[in-house]
Amino acid sequence: MKYDIRGTTMQSVDVWLDAGESVYTESGGMCWMSSNIQMTTNAKGGVLKGLGRMMSGESFFMTTYTCAQGQGTIAFAPEFVGKVIPFELEDRQAIVCQKDGFMAAESSVELSVHFRKKLGTGFFGGEGFILQKLTGPGTAFVEVPGEVVEYDLAEGQTLKIDQSHLAAMDPSISFDITRIKGAKNVLFGGEGLFLATLTGPGKVWLQTMPFKNLIAKIISAMPSK
């Protein structure tokens, strides 16, 4: 399988498949494809995995696209203005991404639910207990609102973030929450009561324009009746 990510702030990914190769995405995730691509829709992995995907922001049914003969092409695009991050995963290598971050992947990649282990991070971590986990081998694509900023954290190195800016991270990253100190900071700082704390070793991918922040800005700018 070969691919090409096109565009800047409104990206798409073109995937070229040889005969017998396939990729899958959530229902309705395809943009365009050549005539030799065949599609099959089902509850990939069974009912339980389908329900798990729904909990993590994806559809119950997934659609698999297979090249019937020769070489075929198919394109995918994010649901919102932003970037596409490709992850080329080795066997059993995994990446954890935000809820609803999955866009498409080779059929060999497993999409599963990832539960945060600590109770506090589930209640106050911004996305609840549920994230998504992609496990190789194969190539997977994650969609990210806005631009992408990457950090490589060394062992014990910590980064504090507004939790809505987390796009993806290595499973080796420890995710926790930290209470903001000082009554004035809490009441007037605009960051709420908690920040997310990411501790290495591992790599993190941050997004500059979380969708919920944009929606809140649009709502605040709408004229009141």
The pair phi, psi for residue 187, each rounded to 5°, is: -80, -35
Of 63, 62, 68, the closest CA to residue 21 belongs to 68
Q: Specify whether the CB–CB gap between 87 and 144 falls below 8 A.
A: no
* Total domains in the fold of the chain: 1
CATH of residue 161? 3.60.160.10
- The candidate with the shortest Cα–Cα distance to 195, out of 119, 126, 146, is 126
The answer to whether residues 136 and 108 touch, using CB atoms and an 8 Å cutoff, is yes
Domain holding 54, by residue range, is 2-221
Instruction: Return d(Cα 108, Cα 125) in angstroms, integer.
Output: 30
Give residue for tokens 């991070």. 121
Please write the tens of the pLDDT for every residue from 39-85.
Answer: 998 776 655 565 555 555 556 678 999 999 999 999 998 888 889 99
Instruction: Output the pTM of the full model.
Output: 0.82
Signed CA dihedral, 65, 66, 70, 71: sign only: positive
State residue 49's pLDDT score: 60
Q: Which of 23-27, 187-191, 204-208 has the lowest mean pLDDT?
A: 187-191
pLDDT per residue as tens digits for the range 77-113: 888 888 999 999 999 999 999 888 899 999 999 998 8
Tens of pLDDT, residue by residue over 161-186, are 887 899 999 999 998 877 665 544 44
More confident residue, 126 or 90: 90
How would residue 126 be classed by pLDDT, with cut points 50, 70 and 90? very low
- In the chain, what percentage of residues exceed pLDDT 90? 49
Sequence length of the chain is 225
- Looking up tokens 């190769």, which residue turns up? 21
